[in-house]
Amino acid sequence: MRKLFEFYCTECKKYFDVKLNMSLNGNYRIHCPMCEHIHFRKLLNGEITDSRFPENHESALIEDIKPMKGSCRDFAQEKPEIDNFLYTRWRERLDVVEA
């Protein structure tokens, strides 16, 4: 199952979408499509964990992910003009999480 995550790059201040295969536990390197800044993420049991791994830990690397430049934007995904409850449901439906 693939899940969509929204990433924020602190280097170039852009947001971009990344689709991750949640069935593969392990380490991922996500390259910012704008500035090539690398974001390290670890997947465990269908969730992105808080743990980071060192760049030289090549053996544990599952995949290098290079999202399309076209998915870059200056702002977080626009939220619809609805109340917070519906907004939360909408986020859940899209499987968008802060990362």
Give the footprint of Zn ion on this chain (CB under 5 A). 9, 11-12, 32, 34-35, 37
SS3 93: helix
Closest C-alpha to 32, from 55, 79, 65: 65
Which CB, 13 or 57, lies closer to Zn ion? 13
Q: Residue 51 has which token pair?
A: 């743990």
Nearest distance from C-beta of residue 80 to Zn ion, angstroms: 27
Nearest distance from C-beta of residue 37 to Zn ion, angstroms: 4
- CA gap 5, 54 in Å, rounded: 22
Which CB, 34 or 97, lies closer to Zn ion? 34
Which CB, 44 or 76, lies closer to Zn ion? 76
